[in-house]
Homo-oligomer: A and B are copies of this chain.
Amino acid sequence: MSALAELKSYVAEMVELQAAAAIAHWDARTYMPERGVETRAKVVGRLSRLAFERVVSPKFGELLAAAEKELPNASEAERAMVRMGKRDHERARAIPPDFYQRFVELCTKAESVWEKAKAEANFALFRPYLAEIVDMVREMARLIGYKEHPYDALLEEYEPGMTTREVAGILGGLRERLVPFVRELQERGTPPPPIPAGRYRLPSQKALCTEVLKAIGYDFSAGRLDESAHPFTIGLGPGDTRVTNRYNEAEPFSALYGALHEGGHALYDQGIPPELYWMGLAGGASYGIHESQSRFWENQIGRSLAFWEFFKPRLARRFRGFARTSPETIFRMVNKVEPSLIRVEADEVTYNLHICLRFELEVELLEGRLKVEDLPERWNAAMKAYLGVVPPDDAKGVLQDVHWSGGAFGYFPSYALGNLYAAQFMEKLQEAQPNLWDEVRKGQFQNVLSWLRQNIHRYGRMYFPEELCQKVTGEKLSPEPFLRYLREKYALVYRL
């Protein structure tokens, strides 16, 4: 067997273990009976440990080194497999197992303390845990290593190849323009009408979500739509990419956009060639690129006027109250901009400001410039400056997100980058397909999906996000396309 073939079979085994863990994970969040929790934790823990042992194993390093010698005659995918394998191997080996174990235990504890602290709006309870997490995360950055900034080492987990300096430039530029833009909409715009109050029956909402997923090309013979407390998408391997959603009887749009969002992630996953999956090259180029696909379908397509020209009759068929509402009115309703306290409920304009805030605080914590005890005050001041609102308590402020209690520093930027990638990709797509919006108006999404498949999905995780962005758009990531998109769209929504 060639070294490459041997490496492939080694990687396939890791991937099979990850797939097994994914099945167990999906089940845990959908159908598992309540008393199954403890057993399931052991099973998932074992599978993760077995997969991790294979990533850190010196054997993997040897196989990678041997395969590297065969690269001159290898395919592009094989070269990517070796490059990504080395990256994963080195990152995993940088953290001593004991240190990692302590970190996992701390975070497990911290998550349950955070839950309590949030329920009681009591930051003091969570503070010592967060302080310890920040200390360990700083040490982790040191262990992993970095060229410029300790935060680079963390960012690398979610946006491989992206630096803190770049993110700061992009998000900084975005923030400077968004803050006055939000003010302008509020001061000079005509706000959209509210969503009519009512009881929107769940079976109709579910049917509508299935309909929209089918319309955009989600393959139900290779997936499912189920319910869970928090919507998510999970790939269980080629031929099996599942989405979940949640429903709110008071209004039908959050579930619909939940379905489009998860559907976007799922289309990415369904579009990755099976052979890449078994080479450990599924999962997307980065968290940001993955988010670009969900945001693309949710916002660029799903919150467009053309989409509502297509979808309004379908909505009205299930919910008669919309029978005489125009597509344009629905388009405006679902694009209401309102500075608010909670990130996950934010509209697409103010959303990114929530991310700018978190990124800045994370960087300051990493640098040691900001102390954990000063975090709530700093948070509230930034909310005031960026969004003009101040949390009445820490539950609605610094305690709102789970990420920090889980040690996931470096994750937040991906959300904003996803929005920016989506807009930059859309500009390119519009150039390539001048009939795009006519097709969307007719509910024809095949060409859109083919373009995404052709330019993004089919590469899986072969490229770093920066390389992929360059390949697709010919340029580096920039906030400009996103800002142009907002200006144009919200001039319509707010009748500027």
Chain A interfacial positions (CB closer than 8 Å to B): 12-13, 16-17, 19-21, 23-24, 27, 31-40, 42-43, 46-47, 50, 219-224, 226, 236-240, 242, 274
Q: Are B236 and A39 in contact (CB under 8 A)?
A: yes
- A42 to B277, alpha carbons, bound, how many Å? 13
Q: Are A46 and B27 in contact (CB under 8 A)?
A: no
Q: Which residues of B contact A20 (CB under 8 A)?
A: 20-21, 23-24, 43, 46-47
Which residue of chain B is the closest to A39 with respect to CB atoms? B237
Q: Which residues of B contact A19 (CB under 8 A)?
A: 39, 42-43
Q: Which residues of B contact A274 (CB under 8 A)?
A: 39
- A36 to B47, alpha carbons, bound, how many Å? 20
Residue of A23, A38, A40 ringed by the most chain B CB atoms within 10 A: A23
Residue of A34, A35, A237 ringed by the most chain B CB atoms within 10 A: A35
Q: Are A222 and B33 in contact (CB under 8 A)?
A: yes
Q: Which residues of B contact A242 (CB under 8 A)?
A: 33
Q: Are B38 and A239 in contact (CB under 8 A)?
A: yes
Q: Which residues of B contact A13 (CB under 8 A)?
A: 46
Which residue of chain B is the closest to A18 with respect to CB atoms? B43
Q: Which residues of B contact A224 (CB under 8 A)?
A: 31, 33
- New contact pairs (14) apart from A31-B224, A33-B224, A39-B238, CB-CB < 8 Å: A13-B46, A16-B43, A19-B43, A20-B43, A31-B31, A33-B220, A33-B223, A33-B239, A36-B239, A36-B240, A38-B239, A39-B240, A40-B236, A40-B237
User: A276 CB to closest chain B CB, in angstroms?
Assistant: 13
Q: Are A222 and B24 in contact (CB under 8 A)?
A: no
Q: Which residues of B contact A46 (CB under 8 A)?
A: 13, 16-17, 20
A-B contact pairs, 26 of them (CB 8 A): A13-B46, A16-B43, A16-B47, A19-B42, A19-B43, A20-B47, A23-B24, A23-B27, A27-B27, A31-B31, A31-B224, A33-B223, A33-B224, A33-B239, A33-B240, A33-B242, A35-B219, A35-B221, A35-B239, A36-B237, A36-B240, A37-B239, A39-B240, A39-B274, A40-B237, A42-B237
Q: Which residues of B contact A42 (CB under 8 A)?
A: 12, 16, 19, 237
Which residue of chain B is the closest to A239 with respect to CB atoms? B35
- A23 to B21, alpha carbons, bound, how many Å? 10
- A24 to B223, alpha carbons, bound, how many Å? 15
Q: Which residues of B contact A220 (CB under 8 A)?
A: 33
| Other-chain residue from B32, B43, B240 in contact with A35 (beta carbon distance below 8 A) | B240
- A27 to B223, alpha carbons, bound, how many Å? 13
User: A269 CB to closest chain B CB, in angstroms?
Assistant: 12
- A252 to B66, alpha carbons, bound, how many Å? 64
Q: Which residues of B contact A237 (CB under 8 A)?
A: 36, 39-40, 42-43
